[in-house]
Chains A and B, each alone.
Chain A
């Protein structure tokens, strides 16, 4: 693993009973970088992220996060990373403040009340703090999940479709907060997304997965040039429909 890599994934394979989810991927993420993980449904993005988090054990290969081997040494580094996904919910009957308090203590945050107040101000949650999490709109829930993910000021932030099902305005707002967080903290961010505008705006590097393998890995600019396209969405469609392979064969 390069000295400056926050994450190093080496020949990672995950086989479930239903088939192969990840078929041998290798990449490393430089500290402080923002990387987008693209791919259609079933491409292996979520499984890859879950293996990086230590939630899923690889069938073979290895994952190293902030110097710790996952999942075996996960307790060395879990305090320095965090995760946000609209598909993993916060307990609905607890208020936002209660949920954030519990997670702040789990992450051993020093001054819990002050940290919650700081994040509430930053993420516009002040008026929501004493409302049950289950009674929030999708956009409000995303902001709360983001607050949970930022409670411990993580060095590594893993995001699984952070703006899915959000209206464009809220999605734009979330992206701005992520940009600001990265600039202030110098955090490493890995972002799985179906939203190409989001990836183009936030990521300096894009890894495209298809059928459990890495199909392409470059900066957004390089991908556009390589595929002769104007947008990442067009590149994504090329890869999804196999035009990338056709183009390579023609060359």
Chain B
């Protein structure tokens, strides 16, 4: 490598810094998009509210007829609210990416100075915005209908939320990479991939319910620790910090793996010419 190349590389590494202005520009773009359509805003609240109400009433019914469930007040509602953080977090991320595919704007972005990490950061921010719009009204409904105050979990809620949102971003980043590489034919993955986690992460039942071999797989997934931790808190009134730390450690590995995959899929997309052909 000659001196000129070395100089170019060092300039390239300097230019690898993140521009918050570009992150802000992309966040603004998604915000414009979101506020331009009231049905989309309504959709953010509608399904989480329906889910929460259904599970809340089911919990009330079972609680009236079984002593254990009467003691375990709020586990179903808590589970459905935490599940929605995981599911909606990933969807919020992936939808921002899909918007670029649907509007055939990816080439415009990829030849602008926007860096992949800035693109990812903006979608992470929008996932939080979408989550807040969808979940805050639903958590208030849970208090009004069932007296279940998610915010009453205090610090534990922060730990649950941090772990769930990290997992949702990791999955969102990976799925976006797959869609970028393979086109909109892979779009369904964005809508359905999280449902694999529903039985495996034991959202509504203890891990011990699973057969032994499946339990091993379940413990590889950070949300399993969160849902187990939530049950420990609501049923036994114990905050399991150990579970949260283990979940966080796995999340760090998952997140790094997702970003590396996204960059590898982007490189592959450049090789295959997929950035120009964003259809199916």
Contacts and interface: CB of A to CB of B under 8 A. Distances in A.
**Chain A bound to chain B:** yes
Interface of A: 14, 16-17, 21, 46-47, 50, 53-57, 67-69, 71-73, 75-76, 78-79, 81-83, 85, 87-95, 98, 101-103, 105-108, 132, 148
The A contact surface, by secondary structure, is mixed
A47 B270 CA distance: 11
B115 A90 contact: no
Contacts, number: 114
A90 B108 CA distance: 8
A108 B18 CA distance: 13
B18 to A, nearest CB: 11
Interface string B15-34: 11001011011101100110
B33 A93 contact: yes
A107 B112 contact: yes
Given A102-B28, A107-B112, A107-B113, A72 B12 contact: yes
Contacts of A76: 8, 11-12, 15
Contact of A103 (B21, B104, B108): B108
B107 interface: yes
B114 interface: yes
Contact of B36 (A75, A94, A103): A94
B33 A102 contact: no
27 contacts: A47-B273, A50-B276, A55-B111, A55-B270, A67-B8, A68-B8, A73-B9, A73-B11, A75-B12, A78-B111, A78-B113, A79-B113, A81-B111, A83-B111, A87-B104, A88-B104, A89-B103, A90-B108, A93-B36, A98-B29, A101-B25, A102-B26, A103-B112, A105-B25, A105-B28, A106-B109, A108-B113
A106 B111 contact: no
Interface in B230-280: 267, 270-273, 275-276
B117 to A, nearest CB: 11
A67 to B, nearest CB: 8
Given A16-B272, A72-B12, A105-B24, A55 B29 contact: no
A77 B127 CA distance: 30
B33 A46 contact: no
Which of B9, B28, B108 has the most C-beta atoms of chain A within 10 angstroms of its own C-beta? B108
B22 A106 contact: yes
Contact of A16 (B8, B99, B108, B273): B273
A180 to B, nearest CB: 24
B115 A75 contact: yes
Given A71-B270, A75-B12, A75-B15, A53 B33 contact: no
A31 B271 CA distance: 28
B8 A93 contact: no
Given A78-B111, A106-B113, A106-B114, A89 B104 contact: yes
A102 B29 contact: yes
B20 to A, nearest CB: 11
B231 to A, nearest CB: 42
A146 B8 CA distance: 31
A2 B113 CA distance: 26
B2 interface: no
Query: Which of A73, A101, A105 counts the most chain B CB atoms within 10 A?
Result: A105
B8 A56 contact: no
Contacts of A16: 272-273
Contacts of B272: 16-17
